[in-house]
Amino acid sequence: MKQLGTDEKVAKRMEHCDTDDLKVRIEKLRAKGKTYREIAKQERVSIAQISRILKQPTVGEAGVKPQTSSVDSDGEEAAAVFELLEKGKSLPKIVIDRKMSPHEARQLHEEWVGLKEIDVNQPIVLKQIKQLQKLLAHEIVLSLPLRQLFKQAGDIGGFRLKNCSYVNSKGFCTNWYWNSEDGSKYHKQADALRCAFCFDFKDNRVAS
C-alpha cells in the first residue's frame, strides 16, 4: 500500500509537469501570433482548454496555489455552458455571464450542437427523421407515375424515330437545324424523347 501511494504521487507530479510544459508551449505560440485554432491543431487540444490554460497563473508564484486539473475545469465549464444553452441563453449572454472568450463559447456551442445531432432522443433528430420520411414517401408516390410516363414517351418516341421522314439516314432531324455564320446548316441529333414531344412528326409510310 505504501508503494502504491508513492506511485500515485509520482504520477501526479508527472501530470503536473506535462501540464506546465503544455502551458509554456501554448504561451510561446501565442507570443508568436498563433491563433487559438492554430494552436489547438498543433497541440491537439481544444480551444476551450487553451483558453483555460492561458488563464492559469504560474505555479509557485507568491500567494498562488496550483490549479486543479485542466480536464476537470474544462468539464465544469462545458457543463455550465451546456446548462445555459439548454435554458435558451444566447452566446453573447453566456460570454458576458461566464466571462469567457468568444472563441471558447463558440467552440462549446459547436460541441453542444454536435451532441444534440447524434442523440436520437433529441427533438432536432426526431424532426429530421420525420422530414426524411415525408420526402421518401413523396418520392415513392411520384416515382411510379413518372416511370409510366417516361415508358410511354419512349414507346411513342421510338416509333416516330424509326418512321419520321424528317430523320435522315445518319439519325439527324432535318426539321431541327440552325445556320452558322458561314451559311452551313447544322441538324440536331434525333432521339426518342425529342421525337415523343415533336409536333411536326411526318410518317414516311404514308404515301404522299
pLDDT at 18: 57
* Contact (CB, 8 A) for 81 and 94: yes
Q: At what angle do helices 102-118 and 47-55 cross, to 10 degrees?
A: 140
Give me the DSSP letters along 69-130.
PHHHHHHHHHHHHHHHHHTT--HHHHHHHHT--HHHHHHHHHHHHHHHHH-TTSHHHHHHHH
pLDDT at 7: 53
pLDDT at 2: 44
pLDDT at 68: 47
pLDDT at 63: 45
85/121 Cα distance (integer angstroms): 17
pLDDT at 133: 72
Q: CA neighbours within 13 Å on the CB side: how many for 154?
A: 6
Strand, helix or coil at 178? Answer: strand
Q: For the chain, state the CA radius of gyration.
A: 36
Q: DSSP character for 44? A: T
pLDDT at 64: 47
77/84 Cα distance (integer angstroms): 11
Strand, helix or coil at 164? Answer: strand
pLDDT at 1: 43
pLDDT at 72: 59
Strand, helix or coil at 134? Answer: helix
47/18 Cα distance (integer angstroms): 18
- pLDDT (tens, 9 = 90+) of the chain, 208 residues, equals 444 455 554 445 445 445 668 888 888 888 888 877 788 888 888 777 877 787 776 555 444 444 444 445 677 888 888 889 888 889 899 999 888 888 888 888 888 887 776 765 555 656 666 777 777 766 666 676 777 888 888 889 889 888 998 888 888 988 887 777 777 777 888 888 888 888 888 888 765 5
pLDDT at 201: 86
H helices within 164-208, ranges in order? Answer: 192-196
pLDDT at 19: 61
pLDDT at 185: 78
